Chains A and B, each alone.
Chain A
Amino acid sequence: MAFLEFNGIGKRFPGVVALDDVSFSIERGSCHALIGENGAGKSTLGKILAGIHQTDSGTILLDGREIRPATPLEARQLGIAMVHQELAFCPNLSVAENLCLGDMPSRRGWVDRKALRARARKMLQSIGADIDPDRLIGSLSTGLEQLVQIAAAVGTGAQVIVMDEPSSSLSAGETRELFRLVRDLTARGITLIYVSHRLEELFALCTTITVLRDGRHISTGRIADTDPKRVISQMIGRELRVETPAHLSREPGPEQLRVEGLASPGKFSNISFSVRAGEIVGFAGLVGAGRSETAQALFGLDPNATGSVIVKGKTLPPASIEAALAAGVGLLPEDRKRQGLVLGLNCRENTSLAVLPLLTRLGWVNRRRERSLAEKYATRLRVKTPSVETLIAGLSGGNQQKVALAKWLARECDVLLIDEPTRGVDVGAKSEIYQLLDELACEGKAILMISSELPELLALCTRILVMRGGRLVGEVPRASASEASLMRLMAGVDTDATESVAQ
C-alpha cells in the first residue's frame, strides 16, 4: 500500500506552471528517485511536501490521511523533513545549538548546556555520525553539515526525508558516507525522496524512480525496470546523442599556454603542462584537488603563486589579472553567480564587462557598439533571452553560463580556462554548451576545461590531466581514457572503495 500519495498536484508561480496535475505514489521505506531537468518541478514538489510551498490544486495523502503542511514546522510535526542544498543552519552557532534550535532545553530561561549536548550527541549517534556537538556549523564541510541536517531530521522523528541534490558538493569520501547512511535509513523504514541530477547515483541507491518534465509527471516505476538512457530520453523528451567532437579531426595549432612549476603554498605545487590552439584539455580531480585554484592562479588571482605561466611565448608577470587579460586569457569561474556575473546588470552590460576599455573613448562607452557586440554574441551562443537588455537574473542557468562565456569571447580571448561549465545547467543546455566549446576549439581557441563530471571530460577533451591533493598525477590521452582509469588516478590508492560506491 502506498505510504505517500500525490494526487493531481498543481502549482503555479507567476508566469510559470511549475507543476501540472502530478500524481504518483511512494512505498514506505523506499528510496524514491525524483529526477528531471532544471525547472522540471522536482524541487518544487519536494518543497511542497516540506511545507515551504503550498499546492494550488490536488491532495497529498500520508499513510492514507490527507495532509496540507502550511509551514516547514507543520511538515516537521507530520514527520516530513527536507535536507537542503543551501545552508539551512546558523553558521555562527554550534552543532548542538543548531540541532536543538526549535526546542532549546532550558531551565527557567537558562540554556541547559549539559542536556543540550547530550541530546545532540544522541541525535548524531542515531545516524552514526561522528561529529563534535560543540563545533560551529560554519567550520564544518558541506558534507558534515548535511549529516547534521539528516541527524536533525531523524532525531525529530521524521518518517519522510526529502534530499535535494545531496551529493552535489561532496567529496568522494563524503559521498560514500552519505550512501551508507541512505541505505541505513531506508532499512529503518524511513522513506526517502532523493532529488538528483546524477543518474549513476540514483541507479546505485534508489528502488523506485519518478521522472518529471516541464512540471508534468512522465513515469514512475521500479528502477530495475528502466535504464539511464531511457531516463534521460524521458527527461528531455528526445534521445541525447553524444557525437564525436569536430575539433579532434583537426590538427592542433601552436602552443598557446605553457605552465612551468606553478605552485602556491597550501593549494598546489609543481604544476607543469601546456595547451595548444584547438585543443580542449580536461582537468579531472576530486573536489579539493586544487584544480580551480590552479586555474585562478593562471588568471593572476593568486598573489602567492610562484612558477611561470607562458602565453603565446611570453611569460606573464605573477599575480596580475591585467597581464593575463592583455595576453588573451579568460576565466569562466566555477561559481557563476558569485564570481562570474553581476546579477543586477543586464546581458549587454555583463557581456561587455571585461571589454569596456575597448568600447570606450575618453571614458565614454559607445553604446551602439556595445549593444551590437552583445547581440552578436547572444546570437552566436544562442542565448535565449527576450533582448540583451534583460536582467541576467531573469535567465535560466544555461543561458547565464552562455553570457558568462560571451564576456570572454567578446574580449577575443585565445586561452579559455573553463571551470565546471555545466554546473547547475539542465541537460538540454549542457549539450549546447558542449557543442559551443567544440566550435570554439575548432576556431583555434586553447581551452582548459575543469569538470567533475567525467563523462563530459571523456566526451569532449583531446587529453585529460588529473590532479590529486594539489599535484598533477597524470595525463591520459583520449584514446586510453575511461571513467575507471581516471577515477583510479583521481582517488589514488583508494580505488576499490570508490568503485564499490558506484556498484
Chain B
Amino acid sequence: MLSRLRLAFRFQESGLLLIILVLGGFLTLFSGTVRTPEFRISEDGTRERVFTVDKDGERVPSFVERNKFLNAQNLAQLAKDTSFIAIMAVGMALVIISGGIDLSVGSIYALASVTGALVMHAYGADGSHADSSGLGIFLGVSTCLGVAALCGLLNGGLTVALRVHPFIITLGSMAILRGVAFVATKGQSVGSFPSGFRDFVRFEWGQNISVVPLAVMILVTFLGWIFLSRFAAGRRVYAIGGNELASQFSGIRVNRVKLGVYLFSGLSAGVAALLSLGYYGAATSGDGQGYELNVIAAAVVGGASLTGGRGTALGVVLGALIIQMISSGIVILGIDQNYSQIIIGTVVIAAVVLDNLTTWMRRRRTLRTTG
C-alpha cells in the first residue's frame, strides 16, 4: 500500500493535483450554497421552469440548492476561464523549458484576435463580403492562427539573429504588436461574425456547459505533453534549456529549436485568441492585457523552471487551473476583490518556494541512492 502510494507520488504532477484537490475541497466546504431556479427540457426540446405546489396549494417556481463551487455550471465556467490561459501556458512552457521567456503572448493574442475579427467581420452579416458559405470562417481562422504564428516566428527570429536576450526582444514586441492591433482597429471593437463560427465555439452540452474551449485545452495539453515527452524535438527543448553549449556540442541545431518554441508560443496565443473570438463574438485591441503575466505565473506554479530545462505541459495546465481556482474562489467565498492580486501573487511565490523544496529533497534522495 505504502509503496503504491509512493509510486503515485513519484508522478511529477502529483503535488499539483494534490493542491487542486485540497483547494477544491476547501472551496466546496466553505463556499456555501446558492438557490438557483430549476429548469427542465420539455418534450418539444425547449427549456422551461419547473413548478411545484407549495403547502398553501399555490403553484410556485421551484428552486434547487447547489454548492456554490461544486456544481456543473461553475465548474464549466472555471474550465472555460482556465482554458484561455492554459492553452497559452503550454506554448509558454516550451519557451521557458528552452531557457527563454515570451512576454508578448498577451499582445499576440490581441493582434491575432483583431486581425481574425476584421476578416470575419468582412464576411459576417454586416460586412462588405457577406457570405453564408464557410469561406469567411476559414479565412478568419487562418488569419488569426497565421498572424499569431508569424508573430512567434518574429520573436524567435529576432532572438536568434540579433543574439539579444528574449526578455528584451519580447518586451519590445509586446509593445509593438499591441500597437499594431490598435492601429489596425483604430481602437474600435470589431464584432458581427458569421454566425456559424460563434455557434460552434459556444456549443453547449446540457445546461449552459460550454465544452469547446475545454476540449481544445485538453487537446493542446495532450499535444504539448506528447511533443515534450515523446518527440525528439521536445527532448531537444529540454536539452537546450538544460545546457545550450552541450546541446550545440552534440550537434543539435540550437537556433532552429529556439525558432520553433517561439513559433509554438505564438501559435498557442493564436488558438486562445480564436476561442475568445468565438466565445465573446468580438475583439478589441485591448484584449489580453496582462495575460503574459498570468501565463508565466501559470507556467511557474506548474513547475516550469525559469532557468530552463524543467517543466511539463500537464504541469503548467494544472498551474493555470490552480491560479484560476484561486481567483474564482475569491469571488465564491465573497472575499473583497481588491485582495485578489495580493493572494495570487503570494501563491506564485509560495509555489516556487515549495517547488525548490521538493527539488532539494529529491536531489538529496538521489545523492543517497548513488552514494
Q: Once the chains bind, are B251 and A322 in contact (CB under 8 Å)?
A: yes
Contacts of A15 in B (CB 8 A): 364, 367-369, 371
Contacts of B309 in A (CB 8 A): 342, 344-345
Q: Pull 20 A–B residue pairs with CB atoms less than 8 Å apart, ordered by A.
A: A14-B367, A16-B367, A16-B371, A321-B248, A322-B253, A338-B243, A341-B246, A342-B239, A344-B238, A344-B243, A353-B246, A353-B252, A354-B250, A359-B232, A364-B231, A364-B232, A365-B232, A367-B230, A394-B370, A395-B370
- Does A407 sit within 8 A of B, measured CB to CB? yes
B 350-371 contacts with A by CB, 8 A: 363-364, 366-371
CA distance A15 to B241 in the complex (A): 29
A 371-391 contacts with B by CB, 8 A: 385-386, 390-391
Partner of A342 from the list B230, B231, B247, B367 (CB cut-off 8 Å) is B247
Q: Once the chains bind, are A339 and B249 in contact (CB under 8 Å)?
A: yes
Q: Given the known A-B contacts A344-B242, A360-B232, A363-B233, are A325 and B370 also in contact in the complex, defined by CB atoms under 8 Å?
A: no
Contacts of A299 in B (CB 8 A): 249
Partner of A394 from the list B230, B232, B253, B366 (CB cut-off 8 Å) is B366
Q: Once the chains bind, are B238 and A342 in contact (CB under 8 Å)?
A: yes
Q: Once the chains bind, are A364 and B230 in contact (CB under 8 Å)?
A: yes
Interface size on A, as a range, is 35 or more
Q: Given the known A-B contacts A331-B249, A354-B251, A385-B370, are A341 and B232 also in contact in the complex, defined by CB atoms under 8 Å?
A: no
Contacts of B370 in A (CB 8 A): 385-386, 390, 394-395
Partner of A365 from the list B231, B245, B250, B253 (CB cut-off 8 Å) is B231
- Does B310 sit within 8 A of A, measured CB to CB? yes
Shortest distance from the beta carbon of B73 to any chain A beta carbon, whole Å: 40
Q: Once the chains bind, are A353 and B239 in contact (CB under 8 Å)?
A: yes
Closest Cβ neighbor of A324 among chain B residues: B251
Chain B count of residues within 8 A CB distance of the other chain: 30
Q: Once the chains bind, are B367 and A13 in contact (CB under 8 Å)?
A: yes
Q: Once the chains bind, are B371 and A365 in contact (CB under 8 Å)?
A: no
B-contact 0/1 string along A326-350, CB 8 Å cutoff: 0000010100001111111100010
CA distance A285 to B255 in the complex (A): 34
Partner of B247 from the list A301, A325, A353, A364 (CB cut-off 8 Å) is A353
Shortest distance from the beta carbon of A41 to any chain B beta carbon, whole Å: 13
- Does A91 sit within 8 A of B, measured CB to CB? no
- Does A237 sit within 8 A of B, measured CB to CB? no
- Does B236 sit within 8 A of A, measured CB to CB? yes
Q: Once the chains bind, are B239 and A345 in contact (CB under 8 Å)?
A: yes
- Interface of B, secondary structure class, is helix
Q: Once the chains bind, are B233 and A343 in contact (CB under 8 Å)?
A: no
Best-buried of A344, A357, A367 by chain B (most CB within 10 Å)? A344
CA distance A391 to B236 in the complex (A): 17
CA distance A338 to B249 in the complex (A): 10
Shortest distance from the beta carbon of B197 to any chain A beta carbon, whole Å: 31
Partner of A340 from the list B239, B249, B368, B369 (CB cut-off 8 Å) is B249
A 385-444 contacts with B by CB, 8 A: 385-386, 390-391, 393-395, 407
Q: Once the chains bind, are A340 and B246 in contact (CB under 8 Å)?
A: yes
Q: Once the chains bind, are A341 and B236 in contact (CB under 8 Å)?
A: no
- Does A4 sit within 8 A of B, measured CB to CB? no
- Does A356 sit within 8 A of B, measured CB to CB? yes
Shortest distance from the beta carbon of A324 to any chain B beta carbon, whole Å: 8
Q: Once the chains bind, are B251 and A344 in contact (CB under 8 Å)?
A: no
Shortest distance from the beta carbon of A257 to any chain B beta carbon, whole Å: 17
Q: Once the chains bind, are B367 and A341 in contact (CB under 8 Å)?
A: no
Shortest distance from the beta carbon of A24 to any chain B beta carbon, whole Å: 25
Q: Given the known A-B contacts A344-B309, A365-B232, are A333 and B239 also in contact in the complex, defined by CB atoms under 8 Å?
A: no
Q: Given the known A-B contacts A345-B239, A363-B231, A365-B231, are A333 and B249 also in contact in the complex, defined by CB atoms under 8 Å?
A: yes
Shortest distance from the beta carbon of B126 to any chain A beta carbon, whole Å: 44
Q: Once the chains bind, are B245 and A339 in contact (CB under 8 Å)?
A: yes
Shortest distance from the beta carbon of A383 to any chain B beta carbon, whole Å: 11
Shortest distance from the beta carbon of A251 to any chain B beta carbon, whole Å: 32
Q: With contacts A341-B243, A343-B243, A363-B232 known, what are 7 further pairs, Cβ within 8 A?
A: A14-B367, A15-B369, A321-B248, A364-B231, A394-B369, A394-B370, A395-B370
A-contact 0/1 string along B181-211, CB 8 Å cutoff: 0000000000000000000000000000000
CA distance A272 to B366 in the complex (A): 46
Contacts of B230 in A (CB 8 A): 364-365, 367
Shortest distance from the beta carbon of A415 to any chain B beta carbon, whole Å: 14
